């Protein structure tokens, strides 16, 4: 049933996102924030200011059209071969202009409004994206695929994605949902709320986030409340790199909370989970990781 | 040499330096344009859509103009605050006035105002109001019978600055979480190309504010005698203080509205000029206008190119220069205060 | 000849209820006149209102009762600049901090005569130099004021007042921080300025010797009221001074000038015969 729904979703978004009548013709589309974007022809020189979109472009095989990325676009490794225009918050406009893009992908969560305005003023088309749900991610893949004229790859990538997600759902379905506390940042304690995709991913992986109903995307949370809600699984996102220890998960701090079911059952996990913040073809990988933490018994 | 002649000489030299720095700023950048390409673009001979035109005329040139205006305005505001408080450590950032203006700008943005011409006027008004509020708060905290206590003034400036910066963070976190990263970046102080209409407005506000202060430069000198003595010489001290205060707040507000809060320009530039030209505000104000422009333009050109293609915030460069400078001033010349 | 300055029934109180209850800083029903060309002294104990009188005269504060007239015209409606063209004040202390040079300081005195001028003109500069020469600070012209000694600073401040070319020169405690030598210098300078240029001088001082020697007439203030006005011989009288200063005094005569010489009558030391 889910597969059918996904296919319908894809078809719909293809129809909505890409009224391409003939290859090479002018097109007007609406981006994911409802803005109208007009291009003389399908984009040939794309700059992506969004790491997730960069991933999607490579997954679709459209990287030939990608002429620029940000420093944070680090996956796949081949992306590092593309020229970078700087950070997400402060891309270098001069470098960007020199790349002569005909379309720039940007997001309202990570890029600055001012950058979008500057680019528009310079006559460069900007396509804004926004994805907080799996469905929106599928939509995004379809849109990028339509713009880069690779509809067949859309079907392949999305299909694979949805298949894997479905497989995880099936694997965890027999088991009762576990209450999950996901610690995005340890100190101050930041957790995923209602608006975050993590909440949905946890749900797909067979858990229920104890912070699922809290407002905003990434609210600050009180440790007391977290303990009081008695999570059965605690997942710590570890942000430390090789040299820096900032944002280290610090599991030993949590092991002292012996009243919490997760600690009693030994279900405290920490890992580098930056993959969960990309809304692209690696979403299933993230879900699989979560599912293994939440329901290890489902994956012998 | 009479004061007038010294002023002319100083302005001549500074203008020449400004032109040189402007040339460097226009010819150097991450786009890697050849000097000939830039020259062609400046002369209007390159195509309007060509890379060199876009980069030179739409990115670099407006940014250069913004840097010169902002630097000049901040330096003159510094001279004004120093004349008013009779203390060379006073300047818009130290006194918390920049933060007040920044709060005004953030509030305006939350309310939906951007940088199209009319809205830019609105943003500038909010910034001006914020600057006035902060300056008034600092003054009221620090005023004692007989004048301004300098230690209290500086402390009050720090506190008011922190207050408004925190208020900004709270406002953003509550209203629009996604903007937080962008706002924190903006608070560092960055120069970016500004559209022509808004740039013209910025120029009017900045030069207007400088003119208001220049008109009263001679009376500002007399204020150094003490308010009572100045009155006895015929200066309307109350009106003078009010006008200069408002003009300095206007200058700070417009800089913050168009380029974000940039600190320490109003500290470093007037002090360097005082070392060469002496204390006379009639010389300091016009030379600070040009000198401030040179300083900020140089800092911004450095910020743009030193780790290209990444960019440093110009506020970082001015702080790195300014903070040690401040400490040096504090320890060597101004240990004994009021 | 009309008086240069007239105080007619002037009353004023600082807006601090406690202070006026103490009778400290207010001025009540003060009437006197200063004649052109004379050296007029205002004396009295601390908090008698001497400085307040100065402030009233230069309109730093406004009289609440009565009227003050300068050359026959009331000063209340006068613009500050107009007043400044006629009255110049040498304050008790030089301003601190004051990073300007002596010449820049003296040039500031030219402001009332050309407030619209951005830079001073040649006439301003010439008058400033003349004023500096008159007070012997011309060779210090290029030095920052802060580098001068107390006496030199006082002379520089006086030069600034002279550069204002006033009809009335007002000095607030001109000798309070000075060594004896500079006190003498100041007195001679005042006499010379008064004699050579006919400038009327108003002197506020708690130094009774200076007042006695230099002034033509004196005003004795007590608790904001006029206690006595007249020549030094009239005012510096034991019966007049003792109730005001509330301590025993003895008034001798200076053998050289014939002016009164006021001494505090020190109590004799109990049980010590120290050759006096």
Same-domain check for residues A187 and A294: yes
Same-domain check for residues A230 and A121: no
**Mean pLDDT taken over chain B:** 87
pLDDT tens figures, B162-178: 999 899 888 877 766 66
Q: What is the C-alpha to C-alpha distance for residues B208 and B45, in angstroms, rounded to an integer?
A: 34
Contacting chains of B (3 CB pairs or more, <8 Å) are: A, C
Q: Kind and range of the H or E element at C102?
A: helix C102-108
| Residue B252, φ and ψ in degrees, nearest 5 | -60, -45
At least 3 CB pairs under 8 A between chains C and A: no
Residue A144 domain-assigned?
Answer: no
Per the CB < 8 A criterion, the answer to whether C150 and C177 are in contact is: yes
Q: What is the C-alpha to C-alpha distance for residues A115 and A119, in angstroms, rounded to an integer?
A: 6
Contact B55 A97 (CB under 8 A): yes
ipTM of the complex, rounded to two decimals: 0.85
DSSP state of A185: B
> C218 to chain B, minimum CA–CA distance in Å?
24
Nearest CA in chain A to B312: A90
**Hey, is the C-beta of B182 within 8 angstroms of any chain C C-beta?**
no
Of B2, B221, B231, the CB nearest to C108: B221
Nearest CA in chain B to A89: B182
Q: What is the mean pLDDT of residues A220-237?
A: 88
Same-domain check for residues A116 and A179: no
> B333 to chain C, minimum CA–CA distance in Å?
11
Contacting chains of C (3 CB pairs or more, <8 Å) are: B
Residue A1 domain-assigned?
Answer: no
User: DSSP letter string over B94-130?
Assistant: TTTHHHHHHHHHHHHHHTT--SSHHHHHHHHHHHHHH
Of A92, A112, A216, the CB nearest to B182: A112
> B172 to chain A, minimum CA–CA distance in Å?
13
pLDDT of residue B103: 92
Distance of alpha carbon B113 from the chain centroid: 22
> What does the block give as tokens for B265?
């320009």
Per the CB < 8 A criterion, the answer to whether C9 and C66 are in contact is: yes
Q: Please list every residue in chain B whose beta carbon sits closer than 8 Å to the beta carbon of residue C18.
A: none
pLDDT tens figures, C241-273: 888 888 888 888 888 888 888 888 877 776 555
Kindly give, in sequence order, each residue whose CB lies less than 8 Å from that of residue A209, ignoring residues fewer than 6 positions away.
A180, A181, A182, A191, A192, A198, A199, A202, A203
Same-domain check for residues A180 and A122: no
Q: What is the C-alpha to C-alpha distance for residues C236 and C240, in angstroms, rounded to an integer?
A: 7
Coil, strand or helix at C190: helix
Q: Please list every residue in chain B whose beta carbon sits closer than 8 Å to the beta carbon of residue A110.
A: 181
The residue range of the domain holding A42 is 15-130
In the block, which residue shows the tokens 């969004």?
A: A50
Q: What is the C-alpha to C-alpha distance for residues A297 and A265, in angstroms, rounded to an integer?
A: 13
| Residue C272, φ and ψ in degrees, nearest 5 | -130, 120
Residue A140 domain-assigned?
Answer: no
User: What CATH number does residue A71 fall under?
Assistant: 3.40.50.1980
Reported as half-sphere exposure (CB side, CA atoms, 13 A), residue B129 has a value of 12
Q: How many domains does chain B have?
A: 1
pLDDT tens figures, B223-264: 999 888 999 999 998 889 889 988 999 999 999 988 989 989
> C183 to chain B, minimum CA–CA distance in Å?
23
> B7 to chain A, minimum CA–CA distance in Å?
38
User: What CATH number does residue B312 fall under?
Assistant: 1.10.3470.10
Q: What is the C-alpha to C-alpha distance for residues A258 and A275, in angstroms, rounded to an integer?
A: 30
Of B54, B178, B313, the CB nearest to A97: B54
Nearest CA in chain B to C81: B234
Contact C111 B229 (CB under 8 A): no
Contact B2 C119 (CB under 8 A): yes
Coil, strand or helix at A48: strand
Coil, strand or helix at A46: strand
At least 3 CB pairs under 8 A between chains B and C: yes
Same-domain check for residues A186 and A242: yes
> B166 to chain C, minimum CA–CA distance in Å?
35
Per the CB < 8 A criterion, the answer to whether B216 and B76 are in contact is: no
pLDDT tens figures, A261-277: 988 888 999 888 888 88
Coil, strand or helix at C156: helix
pLDDT tens figures, B59-87: 899 999 999 999 999 999 999 999 988 88
Q: What is the C-alpha to C-alpha distance for residues A14 and A8, in angstroms, rounded to an integer?
A: 10
Contacting chains of A (3 CB pairs or more, <8 Å) are: B
Q: What is the C-alpha to C-alpha distance for residues B143 and B155, in angstroms, rounded to an integer?
A: 12
DSSP state of A274: G
Residue B336 domain-assigned?
Answer: no
Of A92, A109, A113, the CB nearest to B30: A92
A231 has a pLDDT exceeding 70 = yes
**Hey, is the C-beta of B20 within 8 angstroms of any chain C C-beta?**
no
Q: What is the C-alpha to C-alpha distance for residues A129 and A52, in angstroms, rounded to an integer?
A: 10
Per the CB < 8 A criterion, the answer to whether A76 and A278 are in contact is: no
Max CA separation in chain C (angstroms): 70
pLDDT tens figures, A107-135: 988 898 889 989 999 999 999 999 989 99
Residue B337 domain-assigned?
Answer: no
Same-domain check for residues A88 and A179: no
Q: How many domains does chain A have?
A: 2
Same-domain check for residues A87 and A186: no
Among A83, A94, A188, most B C-beta atoms within 10 A, so best to mutate, is: A94
Determine if residue C202 is left, alpha or beta; phi over 0 gives left, psi from -120 to 50 gives alpha, anything else beta: beta
Same-domain check for residues A126 and A178: no
Q: Please list every residue in chain B whose beta carbon sits closer than 8 Å to the beta carbon of residue C159.
A: none
pLDDT tens figures, A7-23: 556 555 555 544 444 55
Per the CB < 8 A criterion, the answer to whether A238 and A248 are in contact is: yes
What is the CA angle A200-A203-A207, rounded to 5?
145
pLDDT tens figures, A241-253: 666 677 677 788 8
B122 has a pLDDT exceeding 90 = no
Among C119, C125, C146, most B C-beta atoms within 10 A, so best to mutate, is: C119
Kindly give, in sequence order, each residue whose CB lies less than 8 Å from that of residue C109, ignoring residues fewer than 6 positions away.
B233, C88, C128, C131, C159, C160, C161, C162, C163, C164
> What residues of chain C score a pLDDT lower than 70?
1, 15-25, 270-276
Nearest CA in chain C to B230: C108
Residue A162 domain-assigned?
Answer: no
pLDDT of residue B64: 95
Per the CB < 8 A criterion, the answer to whether C219 and C32 are in contact is: yes
Q: Which of B259, B284, B271 is nearest to B321 (CA)?
A: B271
Task: List the end-to-end C-alpha distance of chain A, in Å, as a whole number.
Answer: 27
pLDDT tens figures, C120-153: 999 999 999 999 998 889 999 999 999 998 888 9
Per the CB < 8 A criterion, the answer to whether A127 and A104 are in contact is: yes
> What does the block give as tokens for A125?
């088309």
Same-domain check for residues A187 and A123: no
> B6 to chain C, minimum CA–CA distance in Å?
12
Reported as half-sphere exposure (CB side, CA atoms, 13 A), residue C262 has a value of 24
Pairing type for strands A207-209 and A233-237 reads unpaired
Kindly give, in sequence order, each residue whose CB lies less than 8 Å from that of residue C260, ignoring residues fewer than 6 positions away.
C212, C232, C233, C236, C237, C251, C252, C253, C254
The radius of gyration computed from the CA coordinates of chain A, to the nearest angstrom, equals: 20
Q: Kind and range of the H or E element at C153?
A: helix C150-163
Helices (H), chain A: 2-17, 51-59, 93-98, 113-121, 134-147, 151-172, 197-204, 223-228, 251-255, 261-264, 283-294
Among C53, C99, C163, C172, most B C-beta atoms within 10 A, so best to mutate, is: C99
Q: Which of C70, C39, C32 is nearest to C203 (CA)?
A: C39
Nearest CA in chain B to A86: B310
CB-defined contacts B:C, below 8 A? 73
Q: What is the C-alpha to C-alpha distance for residues B121 and B62, in angstroms, rounded to an integer?
A: 18
Q: What is the C-alpha to C-alpha distance for residues B105 and B266, in angstroms, rounded to an integer?
A: 20
The residue range of the domain holding B256 is 3-331
Reported as half-sphere exposure (CB side, CA atoms, 13 A), residue B201 has a value of 23
**Hey, is the C-beta of B229 within 8 angstroms of any chain C C-beta?**
yes
Per the CB < 8 A criterion, the answer to whether A203 and A151 are in contact is: no
pLDDT of residue A26: 85
Contact B234 C85 (CB under 8 A): yes
Q: At CB < 8 Å, which residues of chain B contact A?
A: 29-32, 49, 51, 54-55, 58-60, 114-115, 177-179, 181-182, 185-186, 190, 192-193, 195, 308-311, 313
> B41 to chain C, minimum CA–CA distance in Å?
42
The radius of gyration computed from the CA coordinates of chain B, to the nearest angstrom, equals: 20
Residue A281 domain-assigned?
Answer: yes
Which of A65, A95, A130 is a domain's end point? A130
In the block, which residue shows the tokens 């030094």?
A: C232
Residue A217 domain-assigned?
Answer: yes
Kindly give, in sequence order, each residue whose CB lies less than 8 Å from that of residue A287, ignoring residues fewer than 6 positions away.
A164, A165, A168, A201, A204, A205
Q: With a CB-CB cutoff of 8 Å, which residues 59-88 of chain A face chain B?
A: 71, 84-87
Q: What is the C-alpha to C-alpha distance for residues A300 and C67, in angstroms, rounded to an integer?
A: 105
Residue A75 domain-assigned?
Answer: yes
Same-domain check for residues A209 and A119: no
Contact C58 B231 (CB under 8 A): yes
Per the CB < 8 A criterion, the answer to whether A84 and A70 are in contact is: yes
What are residue C42's DSSP bridge partners? C204, C219
Residue A135 domain-assigned?
Answer: no
Residue B223 domain-assigned?
Answer: yes
In the block, which residue shows the tokens 């206690």?
A: C227
Q: Which of A127, A123, A108, A110 is nearest to A35 (CA)?
A: A127
> A184 to chain B, minimum CA–CA distance in Å?
16
Q: What is the C-alpha to C-alpha distance for residues A228 and A224, in angstroms, rounded to an integer?
A: 6
pLDDT tens figures, B27-63: 998 888 888 889 988 888 888 788 888 888 888 999 9
Q: Greater confidence, B149 or B29?
A: B29
B118 has a pLDDT exceeding 70 = no
- Residue A132's alpha-carbon distances to A72, A156, A199, in angstroms, are 19, 22, 10
pLDDT of residue A21: 47
What is the CA angle A31-A32-A34, rounded to 5?
65
> B203 to chain C, minimum CA–CA distance in Å?
24
pLDDT of residue C23: 45
Same-domain check for residues A293 and A179: yes
């Amino acid at each position: 049933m889910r597969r059918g729904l996904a296919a319908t979703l894809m078809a719909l978004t293809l129809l909505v996102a890409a009224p391409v009548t003939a290859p090479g013709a002018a097109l007007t589309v609406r981006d994911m924030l409802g803005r109208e974007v007009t291009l003389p022809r399908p984009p040939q020189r794309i700059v992506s200011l969004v790491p997730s979109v960069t991933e999607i472009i490579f997954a679709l095989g459209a990287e030939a059209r990608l002429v620029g990325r940000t420093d944070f676009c680090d996956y796949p490794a081949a992306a590092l071969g593309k020229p970078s225009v700087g950070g997400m918050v402060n891309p270098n406009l001069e470098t960007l202009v020199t790349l002569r893009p005909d379309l720039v992908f940007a997001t309202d969560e990570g890029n600055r409004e001012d950058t979008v305005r500057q680019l528009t003023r310079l006559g460069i088309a900007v396509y804004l994206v926004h994805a907080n749900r799996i469905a929106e991610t599928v939509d995004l893949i379809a849109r990028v695929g339509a713009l880069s004229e690779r509809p067949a790859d859309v079907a392949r990538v999305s299909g694979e994605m949805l298949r894997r997600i479905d497989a995880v759902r099936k694997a965890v379905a027999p088991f009762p949902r576990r209450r999950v506390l996901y610690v995005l940042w340890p100190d101050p304690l930041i957790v995923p709320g209602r608006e975050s995709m993590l909440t949905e991913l946890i749900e797909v992986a067979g858990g229920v986030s104890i912070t699922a109903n809290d407002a905003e995307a990434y609210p600050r949370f009180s440790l007391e409340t977290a303990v009081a809600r008695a999570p059965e699984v605690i997942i710590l996102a570890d942000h430390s790199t090789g040299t820096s220890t900032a944002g280290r998960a610090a599991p030993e701090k949590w092991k002292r909370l012996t009243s919490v079911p997760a600690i009693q059952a030994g279900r405290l996990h920490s890992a580098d989970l930056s993959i969960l913040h990309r809304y692209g073809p690696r979403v299933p990988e993230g879900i699989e990781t979560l599912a293994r933490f939440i329901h290890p018994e489902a994956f012998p | 040499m009479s004061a007038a002649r010294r002023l002319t000489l100083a302005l001549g030299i500074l203008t020449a330096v400004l032109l040189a720095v402007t040339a460097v700023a226009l010819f150097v950048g991450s786009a890697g344009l050849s000097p000939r390409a830039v020259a062609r673009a400046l002369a209007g001979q390159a195509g309007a859509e060509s890379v060199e035109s876009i980069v030179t005329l739409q990115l670099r040139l407006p940014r250069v103009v913004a840097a010169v205006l902002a630097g000049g305005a901040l330096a003159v505001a510094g001279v004004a605050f120093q004349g008013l408080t009779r203390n060379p450590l006073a300047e818009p950032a130290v006194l918390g006035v920049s933060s007040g203006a920044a709060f005004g700008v953030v509030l305006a943005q939350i309310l939906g105002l951007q940088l199209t011409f009319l809205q830019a006027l609105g943003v500038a008004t909010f910034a001006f109001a914020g600057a006035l509020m902060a300056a008034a708060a600092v003054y009221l905290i620090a005023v004692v019978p007989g004048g301004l206590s300098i230690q209290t003034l500086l402390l009050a400036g720090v506190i008011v600055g922190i207050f408004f910066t925190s208020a900004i963070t709270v406002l953003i976190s509550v209203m629009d979480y996604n903007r937080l990263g962008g706002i924190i970046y903006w608070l560092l102080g960055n120069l970016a190309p500004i559209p022509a209409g808004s740039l013209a407005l910025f120029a009017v506000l900045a030069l207007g504010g400088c003119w208001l202060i220049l008109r009263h430069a001679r009376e500002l000198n007399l204020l150094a005698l003490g308010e009572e003595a100045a009155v006895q010489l015929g200066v309307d001290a109350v009106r003078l203080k009010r006008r200069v205060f408002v003009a300095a707040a206007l200058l700070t507000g417009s800089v913050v509205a168009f380029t974000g809060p940039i600190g320490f320009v109003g500290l470093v530039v007037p002090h360097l000029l005082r070392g060469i030209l002496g204390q006379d505000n009639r010389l300091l104000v016009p030379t600070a206008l040009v000198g401030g422009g040179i300083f900020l333009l140089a800092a911004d050109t450095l910020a743009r190119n030193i780790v290209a293609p990444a960019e440093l915030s110009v506020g970082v460069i001015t702080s790195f220069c300014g903070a040690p400078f401040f400490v040096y001033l504090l320890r060597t010349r101004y240990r004994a205060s009021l | 000849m009309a008086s240069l300055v007239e105080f007619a029934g002037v009353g004023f109180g600082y807006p601090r209820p406690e202070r006026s209850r103490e009778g400290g800083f207010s001025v009540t029903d003060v009437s006197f006149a200063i004649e052109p060309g004379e050296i007029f002294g205002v004396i009295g104990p601390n908090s008698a209102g001497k400085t307040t009188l100065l402030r009233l005269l230069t309109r730093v504060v406004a009289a609440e009762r009565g009227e003050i007239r300068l050359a026959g015209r009331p000063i209340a409606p006068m613009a500050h600049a107009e007043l400044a063209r006629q009255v110049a004040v040498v304050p008790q202390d030089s301003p601190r901090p004051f990073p300007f040079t002596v010449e820049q300081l003296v040039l500031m005195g030219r402001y009332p005569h050309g407030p619209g001028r951005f830079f001073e003109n040649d006439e301003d500069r010439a008058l400033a130099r003349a004023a500096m020469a008159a007070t012997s600070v011309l060779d210090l012209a290029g030095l920052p004021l802060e580098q001068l000694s107390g006496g030199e600073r006082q002379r520089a401040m006086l030069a600034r007042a002279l550069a204002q070319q006033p009809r009335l020169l007002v000095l607030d405690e001109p000798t309070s921080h000075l060594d004896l030598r500079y006190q003498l210098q100041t007195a001679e300078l005042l006499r010379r300025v008064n004699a050579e240029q006919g400038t009327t001088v108003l002197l506020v001082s708690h130094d009774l010797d200076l007042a006695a020697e230099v002034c033509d007439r004196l005003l004795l203030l007590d608790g904001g009221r006029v206690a006595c006005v007249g020549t030094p011989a009239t005012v510096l009288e034991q019966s007049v001074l003792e109730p005001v200063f509330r301590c025993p005094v003895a008034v001798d005569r200076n053998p050289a000038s014939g002016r009164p010489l006021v001494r505090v009558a020190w109590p004799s030391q109990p049980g010590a015969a120290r050759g006096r």
